[in-house]
Structure formats: C-alpha cells, structure tokens
A and B are shown apart, each in its own frame.
Chain A
Amino acid sequence: MFADYTSSELLSIFAMQGFAGLILFSVFVLMALGLAIIFGQMGVINMAHGEFMILGAYMTYLTSHVFENYLPASIYGMYFFIAMVIAFFAAGALGALVEWAMIRHLYKRPLDTLLATWGLSLILQQLYRTIFGTREVGVTLPDWLMGSYALSDSIEVPINGLFVMALTVVVTVGVWLMMQKSRLGKQTRAVVQNRPMAAAVGINTAKVDRLTFALGCGIAGIAGSAFTMIGSTGPTSGQLYIVDTFLVVVFGGASSLLGTVASAFTISQAQSTMEFFLSGSMAKVLTLLVVVGILMLRPQGLFSLKMRK
C-alpha cells in the first residue's frame, strides 16, 4: 500500500494524518478525562457523558451567538474563554443535580447506573432536539483562530487544531495537579481507596462524590466547548464518541490519568493513520478490534495501579 507514494510524500502524509490524529486525540483526552474521573475514581458508568459534552458545545454556541449579535465586534475574539467557563459550570451543575437525584441511589449497583444514565442520555438528546432543532449548529470562529500555519510546502497545520491541543494540555495538567495536590483531589483519592476509613477521618464522602461527579461532567462541558472549534454540533453528536471514549478509559487502565492520555494517543493515531490507507470504517473496525483484543489479553488496561482488592 506504500508503493504508490514517494518517500517525501509518505512523510507528509504521515505528518498530516498524525496531526489530524492529534486533534482527534485532543477530543478523546478531554472527553476521557471526565470519564476517567467518574468511572476510574468512582466506578460509575455515565452513558450520558456524551450529552454533557454536547451541553458544553451548545452553551458555547449560545455564547458565541450572544457575542455576535449583542456585543461589539471587537471583543468577539474573546467569546471562547467566557463560553468555556459557562460550559464548565453548566455541565457541572447538571452533573451535580443528576448525582443528587439519581446516581447516589445507585452506587451499589453499577450496572443499573449504566441503564439509568442511558435513559438520561435519551432524554437529554430529545431535549436538545426540541430546543435547538435537529440540524447541526456551528460557531463562527474568531479571526485569530482561522487559517493555517505552513510548516513546509506540503505540510500545513490549522490554527484551531493547535489551539484545541494547547487547551487539552492545559486542562490535562490542571486536572492532574488538582487530583494530586488539591484538597478535593486528595479527598477523592482517599474515598476511592478506602471509603469507610475516609469517612472515619472526617471526610464527607457524599459531598466528595457529588463534587467529583460534577467535576467530571464539567470537564466534559469543556470538551464540548473545544469540540465546537473543529466540528459542528447536533443532538446526537455525543453518542458517536461515547463507546470510543469508554474504550479509551478502559484501555488506559481505569484509574490512571496517565494511562488515559497514553491510550487516547495510541487509539487516535492508529485510527487516523489507517484512515488514509483504508476506508474510514475499516480503520475504525481494525482499531477497535485491536483494542478489544488487547483488552482480552490484558483486562486491567495499559497502566494499572497495583492495589490490593
């Protein structure tokens, strides 16, 4: 399959596909980070995660709409940062509400959480459809995100992609620092490792659960915000990514953030590189098959904490 291309052509193909893979990687990481926190730390399967992401995307769309129509054009370039904050808090607030109303009653029944959150995702999808219509919506990118940056004659990188990647790095580092250093992060890890003992030393475990869930959903909101930079948003966009994202989290080793990032990188690069040579669907089938195959051989994922059960 390489015979038809010269070596420099191959190099630029790999570079361009690698870059496309990096954008996919960014979306995977942003979505998977929230899931890794919720699933890896709390053991809760949130099938509505994609819908939380789409909520962030719709919030970004609304914010850009407000900036475009009601505020001076000079500050339009700034809308994204405000939208991101709104998306984070909107998704986080909905997450806290869902945890309070639904999830906290089901902590002892993880498989049932899966079904209940699937129901939630159906309701949210239909809600989006009712409010925003079935057509996909997109935002107008501000000028400074338009265009691309030419590395060489045949290799160009789009600036919005670069921005999304930078955002991913910032969010990932932020989440990692928070889990390692902050009070909430330490409390979360304590609750995960030993719930009765954590409660015994005075941690309000119910509150930690709610905040952790809200945080995971909030990060999904940010993911949705970033998603608007590179694609348009429809009511069912979230569902397209949910299985992939779960595989990313499981493949990486559920409780390891580093593993999540590494597996997102592997999966997205493999997929986008193969996409060029095979059809899109076969690339996806092969990637998923390899991931499932590896998971069958190594069920604990790439990186796993050595912990006594």
Chain B
Amino acid sequence: MNSMISNLFSRYQLTHMLILALLLVVVLPLSMDIFRLNLVGKYLTYSFVAIGLVLCWGYGGILSLGQGVFFGLGGYCMAMFLKLEASTPEATAIQSTPGIPDFMDWNQLTELPWFWQPFHSFGFTLLAIIAVPAIFALIVAVAMFKRRVGGVYFAIITQAVAAILTILIIGQQGFTGGVNGITDLRTLHGWDIRTDSAKYVLYFVCVALLFGCLFAAKYVINSKLGRLLVAMREREDRVRFSGYDVSAFKIFIFCLAAVFSAIGGAMFTLQVGFMSPSFVGIVPSIEMVIFCAVGGRLSVLGAVYGALLVNFAKTTFSESFPELWLFAMGALFIGVVMAFPNGLAGVWSSQVEPRIKALFNKPGRTTPAATNSTSAPAATPAESFNPEEPSHARG
C-alpha cells in the first residue's frame, strides 16, 4: 500500500495534500464556530465540482457549463430521501393527504409520484446519487462525443441542458417543490441533521469524501488515461490516428466529473438542509467553472482552494457591498482568463515556490508547474510542453 502511494504521488505532492488535510481537519475546526465551519463545509461541496472540472476541462479540454445539473441531481436525490423521511403520516397529519411531502399537498397531488417511491430506501438513494447523474452524463456524452462534437458547441449544449432542467424543476412544482426547492429536511434515519454535533460529523464526512475524490482524481491524472487526456486536448486527431478511441476517454472523464459533482450535491443537501433550482441553472454552473479557474484548471488541490477562496470572498463581499460583488466577480472572470490562465496554482508554482526554494536553498526540483507533474523524475512527454496555454477547443 505504502509503495503504491509513493509510486502514485511524489513526496512533494503528498506534502501539499497533508497541508490541505491539516487545514481542513485540524486548523479550521479548531478556529471556527460551527456556523462558520458549516459554511466551509458548504463551500467544500462546490470543490467536488471544481475537481471534476479540473479533470474534464483542465486536462480533457471539455468545458461543461452544466455541472450544476449533476450537482443538482445528486442533491435532489438526497433531498428526496430526506423529505420522504420528514413526511411521515404523523408529521403531516394536518395535510389533506397525509404522508406525502408538503409541497405536493399544496399542489393538489393526492399520491406520491412513481419516481419518488424508490427513494424510501436509503440504499437506493445512495445508488441513485451516483447512478442518476452518471447515466444522464453518459447519455449526453455519448450523443455528443461519438459525433465528435466538442469545444464551444459542447459548452453551449450543456448550458442549454442546465437551462432546461431548471425550467423543468421550477415549472413542475408539484413534483419537485418548484422554485423553493425541497426544504425543511430534518432527519437521516432518525438522526437529526440540524444539530451542531451532526453538523460536525457531516463536515468531517464531507472532508473524507473530498479526499477520496482528490485521490481518485490524482490517480486518473497520473495514470496513462491522464496523459491521453492531455494529448487529446492538444492534438485530438493525432491521438485518434494513433488508434485510440478518443470519444470513449472523453465520455469516461465527463461521467467521472458528473459523479464527483453529484457527491458534492448530496453533501450540500445534508449540510445546508435544502436543495433548490438556484444551484442547478446556468449562473451557478458557470460560477463553478470560475472556482476551478481561480484555483488553477490544472491542479486538483488548487480547485479546492479556489472554491474556498471565491466563496469566502463572495460571502464577505455580498454581505457588506452587494453592488461591488458583481463587479468583482466580473473582474475575476476577466482577470483570471487574461492574466492568470493557470490560476492560483500557476501563480504558486511559478512565483511563490521558486522563492521559497531559494530561501531554503534546496537543490534540484525547480520544474515549473511542479504541482501538476507526476512523481517521475523526468517530465513525461505529455508534460514536457508548456501547459501555460492549453488550446482546448477545436471544431
């Protein structure tokens, strides 16, 4: 096991992982009250999406503007289970039809729709959180990538999918809770998720899952698949001519990103206590892209920091200067794209790190973009060219 890890990650990368782990597991829980820590947990759920985007956008060159869809699907699956548990016949005795969720009663529904039925089971719910977004992503990806649609067309189609799902959720309020979403979630198997102790537990579960996703993402990036993704991003035709089935790799990475987002969505529902279409649509989806871009589109750890920082900034700014926030957000989009295409991770590895090294005067290890490189001592072909300006979209 130990040797496997050291094969996968250099000591250097492990150090970065450990720093993040220390920050999330020790420093933040000790220095913050539960309200703030719960907020951090909420921000961390976005970093699941950002990690997925690093894989499919940063490495694969597939920009999806519809990751909110998968975040939402995961979140809604979880919310449906919790809502059913909260709507026991005893708790909803005052409704004209007891035993169904309150918003269904308000919309004159008299029985539970068929697609809500299986969500009585927790096992099914856990399966659905992974399977529903994955199958949905599979359908979209197969349809698009098998026909070699990519680049900006894919971005626009995913954006349209996000728009469709939002309108559908809002329009069908009897089945989905409409614009308010599914609210008033209380217990998970009788365990009250609104108490402080539950929030602590959920926060640590979230961090654990996050590290699971981080390791999975690192594993993919350092595997042969990761190299192929970079090669496809740069010269898709040459990879195809070399005999690889390009679309299969794209489909896989898109589905993996969708599953990460869905896990994030489910944890979001648990920690925040509701799910609504305002986390599904076009605007949240594109904001999730900016979390990833700020952190660095080629760095999974950067994505986590990006999601945390942008959301902290958003909360702080929009509390005190709501007008300035949109200006700042807009400037952030433009600035990151024009000046720092590799985000914070890029700035770190090109500016900060060399200085730290000079300070300690450690010999060796001066490759730029070291945060992203594998443990191999020499740069592999995929990384030997400058990842500074990935030329993703073609076609």
Residue positions of A touching B, CB distance < 8 A: 39, 43, 45, 102, 105-106, 108-112, 114-116, 118-123, 125-126, 129-130, 243, 246-247, 250, 279, 281-282, 284-285, 288-289, 291-292, 295-297, 299, 309
Contact = CB atoms under 8 A, between A and B. Distances in A.
Contacts of A296: 143-144, 147, 149, 157
User: Shortest 3 CB-CB distances between A and B: which pairs?
Assistant: A119-B333, A281-B171, A123-B330
Contacts of A116: 333-334, 337-338
A10 to B, nearest CB: 25
A289 B164 contact: yes
A115 B290 contact: yes
Interface stretch (B213-221, B244-252, B299-307, B387-395): B387-395
Contact of A122 (B149, B161, B326): B326
A285 B330 contact: no
Label chain B's interface by main secondary structure: helix
Given A122-B333, A291-B160, A297-B143, 11 more contacts: A106-B337, A109-B393, A110-B393, A111-B63, A114-B155, A115-B336, A116-B334, A126-B327, A289-B164, A292-B160, A299-B148
Of A108, A130, A243, A279, most B-chain CB atoms within 10 Å: A243
A260 to B, nearest CB: 14
A267 B330 CA distance: 31
B47 interface: no
A121 B282 CA distance: 14
A108 B389 contact: yes
B136 interface: no
Of A39, A120, A295, most B-chain CB atoms within 10 Å: A295
Given A102-B338, A281-B171, A119 B329 contact: yes
Interface string B133-175: 0000000000110011101110111011101100110110000
Interface in B79-134: none
Interface of B: 57, 61, 63, 65, 143-144, 147-149, 151-153, 155-157, 159-161, 163-164, 167-168, 170-171, 282, 286, 289-290, 293, 323, 326-327, 329-334, 336-338, 341, 389, 391-393, 395
Given A115-B333, A285-B168, A299-B153, A105 B389 contact: no
A309 B333 CA distance: 31
B134 to A, nearest CB: 18
Given A120-B330, A243-B282, A110 B151 contact: yes
A115 B160 contact: no
Nearest to A126: B326
Contact of B153 (A120, A129, A250, A284): A250
B63 A295 contact: no
Contacts of B168: 281, 285
Contacts of A102: 334, 338
A279 B326 CA distance: 33
Nearest to A249: B156
6 contacts: A43-B152, A105-B338, A109-B341, A109-B391, A247-B160, A285-B168
Of A45, A112, A288, most B-chain CB atoms within 10 Å: A112
A232 to B, nearest CB: 21
Contacts of A309: 395
A119 B330 contact: yes
B333 A118 contact: yes
Contacts of B330: 119-123, 126
A244 to B, nearest CB: 8
A105 B334 CA distance: 12
Contacts of A126: 323, 326-327, 330
A118 B338 contact: no
A115 B151 CA distance: 13
Given A122-B330, A247-B160, A110 B152 contact: yes
B148 to A, nearest CB: 8
A130 B152 contact: no
B159 A243 contact: yes
Contacts of A118: 286, 333
Contact of B144 (A129, A246, A299): A299
A241 to B, nearest CB: 11
A16 to B, nearest CB: 23
